[in-house]
């Protein structure tokens, strides 16, 4: 391969990782000033800027990403456990921003269950599928990462979003991969539906 990304030195399990990012938001009151109905809402984002091995070219297979992503998932899991400490996690989500020399599909290749399952395990498992989002963009592009309850998608109070941006990434030949977590549902959620306390965690929905 002759693209620029392929010439960058591999420094982790077949990938070149340039930088890791963390973000923590803690909400003590909602937008109208009502103090939290319980503990504060903490949202965490863990992300990495990774060289895209397919930047500038088309490939029918994306094995260079998918095949190595299990090791990347375990590293995300390790770092997530350190970032979260003892904070219990109720919601999660994932996202990708692909640099301009790559395809949107390259970001999706990083986000398969091969990558995500170790992270799921690190936060105590999860029965529900992990919501995701993605886009192409350059340094400073913001991304809205969707959040949903990790064991039951029908918990309306936990439909949420965390916005992240990375001032120096992605470069054209990079992909930013991000995982987001939340400690609870929205402050003062009051739209009814299944309560988090009533989740059975059997089918990923209820």
Q: What is the pLDDT of residues 104-119, one digit of tens each?
A: 999 999 999 999 999 9
Asked if the structure places residue 178 within a domain, the reply is yes
Judged on CB neighbours under 10 Å (0-12, 13-18, 19+), 135 is: middle
Q: Is 178 helix (H, G, I), strand (E, B) or coil?
A: strand
Q: Number of folded domains in the chain?
A: 1
**What's the average model confidence in pLDDT over 24-49?**
97
Give every CB contact of residue 157 below 8 A, 6+ residues apart in sequence: 185, 186, 189, 191, 193, 195, 196
Statement: residue 127 has pLDDT above 90: no
Beta bridge partners of 56: none
Q: What is the largest CA-CA distance in the chain?
A: 56
Asked if the structure places residue 62 within a domain, the reply is yes
Residue owning tokens 């987001």: 180
Domain encompassing residue 69:
5-25+37-198
Degrees to nearest 5, angle at CA 38 with 35 and 40: 70
Statement: residue 4 has pLDDT above 60: no
CATH code for the domain in which residue 124 is found = 3.30.1330.110
**By the 8 A CB rule, do 85 and 46 touch?**
no
Measured CA to CA, the distance from residue 152 to residue 173 in angstroms comes to 36
Statement: residue 100 has pLDDT above 80: yes
- pTM comes to 0.93
């Amino acid at each position: 391969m002759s693209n620029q990304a392929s010439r960058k030195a591999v420094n982790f399990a077949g990938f070149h990782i340039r930088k890791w990012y963390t973000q923590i938001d803690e909400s003590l009151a909602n937008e109208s000033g009502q103090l939290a109905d319980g503990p504060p809402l903490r949202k965490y984002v863990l992300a990495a800027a990774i060289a895209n091995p397919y930047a500038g070219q088309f490939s029918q297979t994306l094995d260079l990403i998918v095949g190595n992503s299990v090791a990347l998932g375990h590293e995300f899991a390790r770092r997530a456990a350190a970032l979260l400490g003892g904070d219990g996690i109720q919601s999660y989500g994932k996202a990708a921003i692909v640099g301009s020399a790559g395809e949107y599909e390259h970001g999706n290749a990083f986000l398969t269950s091969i990558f995500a399952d170790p992270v799921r395990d690190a936060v105590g498992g999860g029965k529900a599928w992990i919501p995701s989002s993605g886009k192409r963009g350059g340094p400073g592009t913001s991304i809205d990462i969707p959040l949903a309850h990790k064991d039951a998608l029908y918990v309306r109070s936990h439909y949420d979003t965390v916005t992240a941006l990375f001032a120096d990434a992605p470069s054209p030949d990079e992909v930013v991969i991000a995982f987001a977590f939340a400690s609870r549902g929205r402050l003062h959620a009051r739209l009814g539906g299944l309560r988090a306390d009533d989740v059975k965690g059997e089918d990923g929905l209820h």
